[in-house]
Structure 1
Amino acid sequence: MTDWENRYQAGDMPWEKGRAAPPLLELLEKSEPGMWGPGPVLVPGCGYGHDVRALGGLGVPVVGLDLSETAVARAREFSPAACGTYETGDFLDPAWREGKTFSAIWEHTCFCAIDPADRGRYAAAVAGCLPAGGLLAGVFFLNPFDAGEDASGPPFGTTLAELDEWFSPHFERIGGWVPERAYPGREGREWVGLFRKRA
């Protein structure tokens, strides 16, 4: 398992782009009022909290979660309280999730960072945190690597078929597209997916 705390302490964070994910900003422009529910919205693997702050404009509570204490401390330095709160914890740990419910989850860097063997646990965690009608929205890495690159990950790529396999037992896919906006180098490699939890 990757030592995320050590990576943050060492400054070895190629995923840290200094701004919110462009596909999230694209999605927020397309969002219907109330799509995200009353909150709170959860951002697992939030890092420095750029996506949390972008979601803070929804006017609903937003919670950023990360394994790294260093990342969470930095996110708190960046963020006024009105833009979200932050916790250190493991989204896959049932003890962290106990008693917590969210109206929506924004997925950006957590799914692609965990070992693919844990994706079933991830899907179960998402389903366990959302009520019927809750929203899972995310940007998923389909093809993270150029030819010849070390593809051992993380990040780990995925496919639409795999996403449907993991989420369809609990969710209906209600939308999806290749985003027009992306960080440089990710153009055409990502997919925005919207899933609504079944009753």
Structure 2
Amino acid sequence: MEKNKFNKAYWELRYEKNKTGWNIGYASPPLENFIKQLRDTSISILIPGAGNSFEAELLWNEGFTNTFVLDIAKQPLENFKKRVKNFPYEQVLHQDFFELNRTFDLIIEQTFFCALNPDLRKRYVEKMAQLLKPNGKLVGLFFDFPLTEAGPPFGGSINEYKSIFNKHFKINTLQRATNSIKERQGKELFFIFEV
């Protein structure tokens, strides 16, 4: 599999041609439930590979003003800024995830991991661990279907996720999501990992 195929130009073209089947137009129900139970609105939050980032919009509307969105593609970030007009410009990061140098209390994973070339998974795990403050959490959804050459999205399994994350994270939760949207029922795993 060509490592650089899923680069900035690839993602810009996907958004330009509106080939964004992962975009459901609102916050994913498992992540919405998680966000709604958060209490400390001062925590720093990152959503990498944010796309149109309906989760960030929900966080912002819930008072989480220390939220950052990051994407390598410019178009979804522009879409986000048009929807959430008072979101601080400096918290919209148009850059490569692997070049980010900040730390956060919470990182929310929503269709970013599955969009990366599977060859980058180990690097993703290491980078996530670096980006989190002590006791920080990585929370989100993984797809639960066989890893294929075709993608994105690329799949995976509970056993694979455990094997690549357990070196850098404590696995608090990794279970089938019970409130996925109809099209993803039985295909999503909700997780909470802690450094």
TM over 0.5: yes
Please state whether the residue corresponding to 2:27 is helix, strand or coil: coil
TM-superposed CA distance for 1:118, in Å, is: 0.3
1:95-133 CA-to-partner distances (Å, cap 9, x unmatched) read: x322x1111100011100001110011001101101210
Q: Does 1:87 align with 2:93?
A: yes
**Cα–Cα, structure 1 residues 144 and 88, in superposed 2: closer, same or farther, change >3 Å?**
farther
TM-score (norm 2): 0.87
Q: Does 1:192 align with 2:194?
A: no
The residue that corresponds to 1:160 in the other structure is: 158
The residue that corresponds to 1:178 in the other structure is: 176
The residue that corresponds to 1:69 in the other structure is: 74
Q: Does 1:9 align with 2:16?
A: yes
Aligned length: 186
Partners of 1:180 and 1:19 in 2: how far apart? 18
Give every structure 1 segment of 4 or more consecutive aligned residues whose post-TM-superposition deviation is greater than 3 Å: 31-34, 82-85
Partners of 2:136 and 2:44 in 1: how far apart? 11
Partners of 2:55 and 2:174 in 1: how far apart? 19
1:29-54 CA-to-partner distances (Å, cap 9, x unmatched) read: 4x3534xx843200011111201112
The residue that corresponds to 2:121 in the other structure is: 119
What pairs up with 1:12-91 in 2 under 5 angstroms? 12-29=19-36, 31=37, 33-34=39-40, 38-56=42-60, 57-82=62-87, 85-91=91-97
What pairs up with 1:135-150 in 2 under 5 angstroms? 135-143=137-145
Structure 2 unaligned spans of 5+:
none
Please state whether the residue corresponding to 1:73 is helix, strand or coil: helix
Contact 2:146 2:157 in 1 (8 A): no
Please state whether the residue corresponding to 1:25 is helix, strand or coil: helix
**Cα–Cα, structure 1 residues 174 and 67, in superposed 2: closer, same or farther, change >3 Å?**
same
Tell me how large the CA RMSD over aligned residues is.
2.2
Partners of 2:42 and 2:162 in 1: how far apart? 26
Contact 1:26 1:179 in 2 (8 A): no
TM-score (norm 1): 0.85
TM-superposed CA distance for 1:188, in Å, is: 1.1
**Cα–Cα, structure 1 residues 195 and 42, in superposed 2: closer, same or farther, change >3 Å?**
same
TM-superposed CA distance for 1:83, in Å, is: 8.3
